[in-house]
Amino acid sequence: MRSTEELVRDHEVILGVLDGLEARLRAVQSGGALDPGYVREAVAFSQGFVDRCHHGKEEHCLFPCLERRGVPREGGPIGVMLAEHEMGRQLVRRIAEAVDRYEAGRGDLGEVVDLAWQYVELLRAHIAKENEVLFPMGEAVLHESDDADVGRCYDGVEHQQGAGEHQRLTQLAARLSRPS
């Protein structure tokens, strides 16, 4: 199996959660209420699955291997992906803070919705770039032995998450993906 295939499967899980979040944001924009608990779970999913697990696999496993095979970091697609990972982290922190303020009566619902939309748009565009540009580029330069090494590295990233954490986050994703 190509090392990028596992990341594409992760993307499908992430896109499902983005679909669920987007449906809730549209409902709020149509006058519905926002469930802060849902947003908190989406933040937890983003921090655990998207960032620590998925981005961990990319940053610690795939990207270094691609660099060794000549794909540039600076001024290249890896650098762009890393910058977008950091933008996503910052947005998730800001969403969590905005939900805290909203629940405490010191924040604006519009801020939560705006930040969540920014996150949805960032991740959708980011995933498209990886699936359509970076991963095909990677598949062209990686050898079979690279795929095996990267796959073992992915296992290590998931192991660092703790026993059952990947499964727990995947189950959380299934809940978050359901229509409201």
Q: What is the CATH number of the domain that holds 106?
A: 1.20.120.520
pTM over 0.85: yes
The interaxial angle of helices 165-177 and 3-29, nearest 10 deg, is 40
pLDDT score recorded for residue 2: 87
Residue 179 pLDDT more than 80?
no
Inform me whether the pLDDT recorded for 70 exceeds 80: yes
Token output for 124: 């959708």
**Predicted local confidence at residue 103, as pLDDT:** 93
Compute φ and ψ for 58, nearest 5 degrees: -70, -50
Of 154, 162, 174, 169, the residue nearest 49 (C-alpha): 169
pLDDT at residue number 162: 87
Query: For the segment 16-40, what is each residue's pLDDT rounded down to a tens digit?
Result: 999 999 999 999 999 998 899 999 9
What digits encode the pLDDT tens for the residues 122-169? 999 999 999 999 999 999 999 999 999 999 999 999 999 888 898 999
Nearest to 14 by CA among 122, 114, 109, 94: 122
Domain carrying residue 159: 3-177
Which pLDDT score is estimated for 163? 81
What's the CA gap between 152 and 133, in Å, rounded?
Answer: 24
CA 59 to chain CA centroid, Å, is: 12
- What is the count of structural domains for the chain? 1
Give tens-digit pLDDT for 81-105: 999 999 999 999 999 999 999 999 9
